[in-house]
Structures are given as C-alpha cells and as structure tokens.
Structure 1
Amino acid sequence: MTHRSFEPGGYRYAPGVFQYSAGVAAMPGYEIVRVRFRDPVPLAEGFARAQALMAAEGRPTTAFCSCELRSPAPFTQEGFDAFNALYVGTLERWGIVRDGENPVARANVCPEVDEPAEPSLHAFGFTVEARSGLPTFVVAGGAEAPEGKGAYRDHIVRLGDVGPSALREKARFVLAEMERRMGVLGFGWRDATATQVYTVHDLHPFLADEIIRRGAARHGLTWHYHRPPVVDLEFEMDCRGLAQERVA
C-alpha cells in the first residue's frame, strides 16, 4: 500500500476503510497540531468548536485530519455502520470526504467508567504552517481484527477469549498493524511521541516483552480504561508523532 495526498488539507494519508484512513502525516510546509478538550464534547458541538479553533488559526475545515471520539458503549456492527454514516456526513460537508474516500484518521473508543451520554469528541488534529520543522503524523486506532473484510466479529483474533495468552496474541496483532500503518507513512516507533492503549483487561503480563521491548513505549504508554467501539473487540491502540499538543 502507498500513501495518498490530500492537498486541500496539507497532509497525506494511508488509505483505510470508508469511515477513516489508517493514518495521516503532514506534507512539507505543514505540521499537525493536536487539540484535546478538557472533557469530551457532544459530537455536533465538538465539530463546531473544532471548526472555530481552526478558523482562529486561519485554517479551512479541510485542515481537519484526525479525531479521537468517545462513545457511551460498544456498538453492534449495525449500530457502528449507522454511526459512521452520520459522522462521515460532517466530513463530506467540510469538503474532506470525496467520492467515498476518507483521509481522516480516527479512534473511537468507549470509557468503561464515566462514559459520555452520547458520542463525543475528545481530541482532534489539524494542519498548520510548519513551525517546528519536525515531521508529524497520527496513526488511527486499530483493534484485533483486520479492517475492510466485513463484520469485525467474523475476523477477531481469539474471539471471546480474554485469557493471558489470547490477550498477548491480540496485542501482537494490533502492534503489527500499528507498525504497518506507520510504515506506509514512512515512520516507525522511534518517530512516535505518544502511544495509547484502550482495554479493560490486564496488559501487564505482556507489557515488557511485547510493547516496551519493541520500542512502542519510548515516551511512556497511556492506558485508557476503555473498550474498542464494537462488541467483542477487546484491545485497541493508536500512536502519533507530534511537536504541538494543546488543551482547550
């Protein structure tokens, strides 16, 4: 797989599925800035706030390149498909999704505790004119099932098994997918400034030899006590390499 360019946004992306790309990287002359809200903001309001923040920087809506969502609970496959159709509609109105091609990287996970009342925006990324001179990228969230093959449940690694060996196998699959996505964009773990894990299961039995030893936690590891967005998925990760992160 090769990356593609989204010129109106100033970034390139690794093609994924219709609801999101596998990852994004700033094009020459640009860098990606991440903005995290202090509390998740209901999706429509979150998009409006993101648009206002981008406009204040003199950036168009097409500069929107990544987002991190929070949902009340894991979706059924049918519910997930319906949610994605609504979410993608905003990106179409913003001039980002064209002819079914979506360049935006995304993570959508479900807090196990203190969950939002409705799908909400936790953080987003957008491109600005380069200031740091460093290459920047965001890899989309991925769980233990290949994407683009139909229903997740039909392809989940060790479906229904959350024992130590199964979780290790799930983690290996997800880590390999993170590496594949970074590789498409020309990056590796040495370029990542942050790595996030989303699971409600114990990751300590394989933390050292599967995650740390391969370089996936060079700047630490942020563990969110969250579930992936679809029922029966148990382990998700994403990562990024950025020079600027803000709280709004």
Structure 2
Amino acid sequence: MVRDFPTGNYRFIPAVFQYSSGAAADSGFEVERVRFDKLLPLAEGFAQAAKYIQAAGRPLTSFCACELRSPAAFTEDGFRIFNQHYVKTLAEWKIFDGTVNPVARSNVCPEIDPPSEPSFYAFSFTRPGAGAIPSFVIAGGAELRGGSGTYPERIVRYNDLSPDAMKEKVRFTVGSMEERLGEFGLGWKDTTAVQAYTVHDFHPVIVDELVRRGAMRSGLTWHFARPPVVDLEFEMDCRRVARETAI
C-alpha cells in the first residue's frame, strides 16, 4: 500500500528499512534526477546532493531516490551492515525515522573498474512542477522472492545460469517492476527510462520478456554490473523524470 511522505512532497511504496520500492512526486511536484559525472564516495555524494538540493530551494526531505555503486557484491550480513551505515544520513535529514524509509534506491557493483568504496552515481529529489503524468523512480529489484528466508532460499533459480534460468530470472524481475509501477497506477507506457544490471548475456530473452511487454518504449540502458548481493544475477529499475542533469 502506497504511503505519503508529505515533508518530501512524494508518495512511496514501503519495503525494508534500507529503501522503499519506489517514490512518486505529489501533485504539483516533479522529480529531478541528478547524475554525477564521476562517482563520489558515499559521504561526499551525500554532501554534494545536499548542496544541490538546498541551492534549488528545496528541503533535504525532498531527497527521494539514489543510485549507488559498490566495489563488489556483499554477503547477506555485509549488506545488512552497509545498510545500517547508509541510513544514518537519511535519519539526520529527517527522512528515515528508524523504521520506515521512503527513499527508493539502486545499489549495484560494476564488474570492470569498480569504485574502491561505496559511491554515489545519481540521486533524485522533488521540486515544484506540474505534469499530466506523475514523475517517479522505481527502486532496483532483482530475482529475489519476497517473504522470510535467506537469500539462497528466495533467489529464483539459485545458482543456475542456464538459458532457461536466465529467462525465468528476467521474467520475474520484469514482473516485479510491473507490480511496483502498478502500485502507483502506472505502467511501462509511463516510463521515460529503464535500466538493467547484469554481467550475463540476456539478449535471447529481450524480445519476449522486455520489448513485447512494453518495457523498452524508451530503449534500455544496460550497465555491466552485478546486483548488490552475492548470487543475484539480474536487476532492473525504471523511472519517469521531468528533468535530468549531469554535474
């Protein structure tokens, strides 16, 4: 169920403590995405994001999404420890209340020339604006089923990289994106950008699992990167933003 985050002028899909499943601007507001020309270490990225948001006359609570890059995939415990560190800044910004986190996020691991420490690639925030279709960011999602259990227990076709397994992993992930879009009453037709993250060749399934389903209406950006947890193999995110800037 979608919840409101009024101090940020956006709505979000609750998920886990480290991120939400997506954020969408309220009526009268729009999402702006800002990409850094080069990766910035986490603390520096937060500082530059704060500077940019405040220069735009917006409160820090308008920070609604971020895209991170990490040196390598985490173990399940390592990912938990990283997230506990990551949310400290969001708590200082009065966004994370200790339990609920409205900020959408992607955090992936470049296979070639990775950063030496967790770093910022991009962030998004809300600002006044009016569009006929809400602007939004859907958080990164991989082939991981919900519910309880360890990652190996919930990963679709765990440790299987056969063509049939990759098709099932991609299909599951695309379906997860559709479910999240649906929470906002939206679909692929409303997106302006879709990103995929994997180091595996998924071209054999692109036509049936992405093109025919409408996911590539604006093309597809493929990042040669792994999802953030060991043994996940395919991740996606998507968005509709009114303005994109590189700094």
Q: TM-score w.r.t. structure 2 length?
A: 0.98
Q: Does the CA contact (< 8 Å) of 1:23 and 1:138 recur in 2?
A: yes
Q: Distance in 2 between matches of 1:16 and 1:148?
A: 11
The answer to whether 1:10 aligns with 2:9 is yes
Q: What is the distance in 1 between the residues matched to 2:83 and 2:246? A: 26
Is 1:23 equivalent to 2:22 in the alignment?
Answer: yes
Matches within 5 A, 1:1-248: 2-130=1-129, 132=131, 134-147=133-146, 149-248=148-247
Q: Distance in 1 between matches of 2:136 and 2:150?
A: 28
CA distance in 2, matches of 1:133, 1:59: 22
Contact 2:27 2:130 in 1 (8 A): no
SS in 2 for 1:69: strand
CA displacement at 1:141 relative to structure 2: 0.1
Task: Point out where structure 2 has 5 or more consecutive residues left out of the alignment.
Answer: none
One-letter identity of the residue aligned with 1:30: F
Which residue identity lines up with residue 153 of structure 2 in the other structure? D
- Comparing 149-158 with 165-174, which one deviates more in the overlay? 149-158
CA distance in 1: counterparts of 2:73 and 2:20, whole angstroms = 20
CA displacement, residues 20-62 of structure 1 (integer Å, 9 cap, x when unaligned): 0000100011100000001111000000000000000011110
Q: CA deviation at 1:149?
A: 2.6
Q: Is the 8 A contact 2:133 2:190 kept in 1?
A: no
3-state SS of 1:230 partner: coil
After superposition, what is the alpha-carbon deviation per residue over 1:181-215, rounded to whole angstroms, capped at 9, x for unaligned? Answer: 01101210000000000000001100111111100
Relative distance call for 1:40 and 1:150 in structure 2 (3 A) is farther
Q: Which letter maps to 2:117?
A: E
Q: Is the partner of 1:107 in helix, strand or coil?
A: strand
Contact 1:33–1:127 under 8 Å retained in 2? yes
Superposed CA offset, 1:124-169 (max 9, x none):
0000011555420100000001245343222100000111110000
Q: Aligned partners of 2:122 and 2:93: how far apart in 1?
A: 18
Identity of aligned residues (%): 57
Paired residue type of 2:154: H
SS at structure 2 position matched to 1:240: strand
How far apart are 1:242 and its partner, in Å?
1.2
**Matches of 1:131 and 1:50 in 2, distance apart?**
23
| RMSD (Å), alpha carbons | 1.0
Counterpart AA for 1:20:
Y
Determine the C-alpha separation between the residues in 2 that align with 1:170 and 1:59: 39
SS of residue in 1 equivalent to 2:159:
coil
| AA at the equivalent of 2:127 | V
Letter in 1 for 2:74: F
Q: Deviations over 1:75-111 (max 9, x none)?
A: 0001000000000111011000114100000000000
Q: CA deviation at 1:117?
A: 0.6
